[in-house]
A and B are shown apart, each in its own frame.
Chain A
Amino acid sequence: MGRRASIFNIVSVTLGLAFLYLPIVILVIYSFNGSRLVTVWGGWSLTWYRALLSDRAMIDAAWTSLRIAALSASAATVLGTCAAVALTRLGRFRGRLLFSGMVYAPLVMPEVITGLSLLLLFVALDVDRGFWTISIAHTTLTMCFVTVIVQSRLVSFDRSLEEAAMDLGCPPLKTFLTVTLPLILPAIAAGWMLAFSLSLDDLVIASFTTGPGATTLPIRIYSEVRLGVKPEINAVCTIMIAVVAVATVVASLASKRGAVRRERAGA
C-alpha cells in the first residue's frame, strides 16, 4: 500500500504521534525546570542534573542496571540464537513442541508470574539473590525476543547459500560460521539491542529476583516515584531518553548506509 494520503490519514497519524510524544516532551522540558513545583516554571536550569550527580544511590543503581543489561543481553543473544537455529535448522526432533512452547511463552507471559516463579526457583535452589539472579532472570526473559528476531531472519535465509558453501568443500559447522553467521549478524545485533533495552527497562522481574545490595535503576526510580513526582527523576528519565535516542539514530543511520550502498549498487 502507499501513495495517496487523505486528510483523515494525515490527521490520525499526527494525532497518534502527538499522543506518543507529548508526555515525553513535557517530561524532558520539566527536567530543566528551575522550580521544584511541576506547574510553576522557574526558568531553565540544570539544578536537577547537578543534584543527580551527587546522588550516589542513583548512580550505583544505574551502574548495576547497565552491567546486568550487558551481561544478560549477551547471554540471551547466544542462547536465543542457538534456539532460533535449532527451530529453523534441525527439522523435527523429540520435544520440539515443548521447546517452541517454552521459547514463545515468555513473550506474552505476565511479568508478575515469571518473576514470582523464578524467585521461588532461586529459593528452592537456595541461591543468594542479587546481581546474578537478576541476570539469569533477564536472560531467560530476553532470549526469547532474540530468538524471534533471529528466527524470522533465518526463515527468509536462502538455504542454497549454505549448500553452495558445502558444495565447495566447506564442512557444515564452518559453513555456519563463515556464511550463515555473517549474513544474519544484523538480526543478531538487533536482538542484542532489544535484549539490552528490555533488561534495562524491567522493574517487575528484577523486584522479585533481587536481593540485598542489588538495586537496579528501575527499582530505584520506582521507589522514588511511589512517593510522588520528583524533579531529579525527570532528569534521570531525560538522560535515559537521550541515550536511547542517540543509540537509535546511530543504529538506523548505520543500517540506512548499508541499504543505500546496496541500492546504489543494484541500480
Chain B
Amino acid sequence: MIQNQRAKRSWSARLVLLIPYLWLALFFLAPFLIVLKISLSQTAIAQPPYVPVLEWAAGWAGLKAFFAALSADNYAMLGSDWLYPVSYLKSLEVAALSTAILLAVGYPLAYGIARSPRRLQPVLVMLVILPFWTSFLIRVYAWINILQRDGLLNDVLLRLHIVDTPVAWLSSDTAIYIGMVYSYLPFMVLPLYAALEKMDESLLEAAADLGCPRGRAFWLVTLPLSLPGVAAGMLLCFIPIAGEFVIPDLLGGSQTVMIGQTLWMEFFANKDWPVASAIAVALLGLLLVPMLFYERMQQRSLEGGR
C-alpha cells in the first residue's frame, strides 16, 4: 500500500534505468535478432560468410530484396540431416538424466546441511560454494586426471584387482554424467538448502505432535515445502546442461555429440554461420519453456510478485 508513485521522474532515475536498458538492448536483445536473421540466410564464401547482407544504402528496394532472399532452408536441413535431431535428443537425454542424478545426490546433501548444527551450516554452505569459485575448466580438467586410461581410477581398480584391464572411462557417456553432476552440484544444492533451511522446525514438531512418524513427516511436510527449491535447482541445472559444450567436448566421446558441440563445430570448423545460427534458434526454442518458468520464479522471488 505504501508505494511512492511519482508522476515525474528525476533525470538521475531516468539515467539509472536507461543505461542498463540500452546496454542490454544493444548487447543482448539485438544480437538475438541478428542470429534470427542470419539463421534465415544462405552460406557464402565471403566476409561475412552469408548472404543476403542488408544494404542500408539501397533503401526500400534493398529492404525488399533482403526479405525476398531470406529462406528457411537451414531449418529444413536441420530436420533432414540425422546428425542434428540426434544431437538434440542426446542433449535432452543428458540434461534430463543429469538433472535427475543431481537431484538424487543433491537432496540428501542439502538436507544434511540443513539438519546440521546451526553454527556449522555457514561453513558447510561455504564448502559447497567454494569449488564453484574455482574455474569450471579446472574442475572438468581435474576429472581427466582421474578418468583417463592410465589415470588414477584405473590405477586404483587394477591394484584392487576389481578389473584386469584398464577401463576406458574417458570419452564415454559415464564421463559426461560424472562431469555434469560434479560441475552443477552447487547449483542444485544451494536452492534446495535455501528452501530447507527456512523451514520452521516447529512444523515437524507439530506433525509429530499430531501423531505423524518422523519418516512419514518427511514425505508429508518437508518434501512438499521444499518443492520450490527442487524446481529452482532442476531449472538451474537442466537449462545450462542442455546447452553445455565444455564437459561433453573434454570428457565425452566422438560418437555422442551434444547440440552445443554441434553448434561449435558448425561455427568454428565448418564456418557455416547460418546453420550455427539456426541451431542456436532451435536450441533456444527447446529451452524457451523452462527458461520462462525460471524467469517467473526469479521475478516472484526478487520482486515480491508485483
Within 8 A of A (CB), among B18-67: 19-21, 23-32, 34-35, 38, 48
A16 and B245 contact, CB distance less than 8 A:
no
Residue A4 interfacial (CB < 8 Å)? yes
Which of A's residues lie within 8 Å of B, judged by CB? 1-6, 8-13, 15-17, 19-21, 23-24, 26-27, 30, 37-39, 79-80, 82-83, 85-91, 93, 95, 98-113, 116-118, 120-121, 123-124, 136-137, 139-140, 143, 147-148, 151-152, 155, 159, 172-173, 197, 200-201, 203-204, 207-208, 218, 221-222, 225-226, 228-229, 233-234, 237, 240-241, 244-245, 247-248, 252
Contacts of A23 in B (CB 8 A): 139, 142-143, 145-146, 182
Contacts of B294 in A (CB 8 A): 104, 107-108
B273 and A155 contact, CB distance less than 8 A:
no
Sample of 9 further A-B pairs with CB below 8 A, known A83-B20, A87-B302: A99-B20, A100-B299, A104-B295, A105-B28, A112-B283, A121-B26, A152-B302, A201-B135, A240-B134
CA distance A47 to B44 in the complex (A): 49
Contacts of B106 in A (CB 8 A): 16
Contacts of B31 in A (CB 8 A): 117-118, 120-121
B136 and A112 contact, CB distance less than 8 A:
no
- Main SS at interface, chain A: helix
Known: A21-B131, A26-B145, A121-B30. A6 touches B115 (CB 8 A): yes
Contacts of A147 in B (CB 8 A): 20
Contacts of A234 in B (CB 8 A): 145
Query: Can you offer 16 A-B residue contacts whose CB atoms are under 8 A?
Result: A1-B114, A1-B197, A2-B114, A6-B115, A9-B108, A12-B108, A16-B189, A17-B128, A82-B20, A99-B20, A107-B294, A112-B263, A116-B276, A221-B135, A234-B145, A237-B142
Residue B109 interfacial (CB < 8 Å)? yes
CA distance A245 to B146 in the complex (A): 22
- Main SS at interface, chain B: helix
Contacts of B299 in A (CB 8 A): 100, 104
Beta-carbon nearest neighbor of B34 in chain A? A120
Beta-carbon nearest neighbor of A2 in chain B? B118
Which of B's residues lie within 8 Å of A, judged by CB? 2-5, 9-10, 12-13, 15-17, 19-21, 23-32, 34-35, 38, 48, 105-106, 108-109, 111-118, 121, 124, 126-128, 130-131, 133-139, 141-146, 148, 150-152, 155, 182, 185, 189, 196-197, 199, 201, 204, 235-236, 239-240, 242-246, 249-250, 260, 263-264, 267-268, 273, 276-277, 280, 283-284, 287, 291, 294-295, 298-299, 301-304
Beta-carbon nearest neighbor of B54 in chain A? A124
CA distance A2 to B121 in the complex (A): 8
Beta-carbon nearest neighbor of B27 in chain A? A140
Contacts of B260 in A (CB 8 A): 110, 112
Contacts of A16 in B (CB 8 A): 105-106, 108-109, 112, 128, 185, 189
Kindly count the residue-residue contacts between A and B in the assembled complex, taking CB atoms under 8 Å apart: 287
Q: Which of A90, A137, A152, A228 has the most CB of B within 10 A?
A: A90
Contacts of A137 in B (CB 8 A): 27
Contacts of A91 in B (CB 8 A): 3-5
Known: A108-B240, A237-B141. A204 touches B105 (CB 8 A): no
B246 and A203 contact, CB distance less than 8 A:
yes
Contacts of B26 in A (CB 8 A): 121
Min Cβ gap B286→A in Å is 10
Contacts of B20 in A (CB 8 A): 79-80, 82-83, 86, 99, 103, 143, 147
Min Cβ gap B46→A in Å is 12
A201 and B137 contact, CB distance less than 8 A:
yes
Known: A27-B145, A79-B20. A20 touches B128 (CB 8 A): yes
